[in-house]
């Protein structure tokens, strides 16, 4: 399974910034790199087939009620999955 987050970070960030918690320090000092990593995510998403996107949407729909069903407490927006469109 690909880890697109790690792949994109490795493409954009200097090697020393990908070790441990140094990534966030790097982003604070180089905020433009956050945009570059996001662009990498977007470029990857655009390579997905309609079948891949449908699978992601299906997972999102299946996961939508997990918090309410299995977790204690109220659902909040931080547990909402982002829209894929």
Q: Which domain holds residue 10?
A: 4-68
Residue-wise pLDDT for 68-82, tens only, equals 776 665 555 544 555
Residue 82 lies in a domain: no
Domains: count for the chain? 1
**What integer pLDDT is reported at residue 60 of this predicted model?**
79
Residue 60 lies in a domain: yes
**What integer pLDDT is reported at residue 2 of this predicted model?**
76
pLDDT band at 21 (very low <50, low <70, confident <90, very high): confident
Q: For residues 77 and 67, is the Cβ–Cβ distance under 8 A?
A: no
**What integer pLDDT is reported at residue 36 of this predicted model?**
92
Residue 52 lies in a domain: yes
What's the rounded mean pLDDT across residues 21-33? 87
Nearest-angstrom CA–CA distance, 50 and 23? 32
DSSP H or E run through 73? none
SS3 state at 42: helix
Which CA distances in Å does 42 have to 8, 17, 20, 75, 80?
Answer: 10, 22, 25, 28, 20
Residue 78 lies in a domain: no
**What integer pLDDT is reported at residue 14 of this predicted model?**
93
């Amino acid at each position: 399974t690909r880890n697109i987050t790690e792949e994109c970070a490795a493409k954009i960030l200097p090697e020393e910034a990908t070790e441990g918690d140094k990534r966030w320090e790097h982003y604070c000092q180089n905020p433009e790199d956050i945009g570059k990593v996001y662009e990498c995510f977007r470029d990857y998403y655009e390579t997905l087939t309609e079948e891949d996107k449908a699978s992601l949407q299906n997972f999102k729909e299946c996961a939508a009620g997990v918090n309410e069903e299995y977790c204690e407490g109220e659902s909040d927006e931080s547990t909402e999955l982002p829209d894929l469109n």
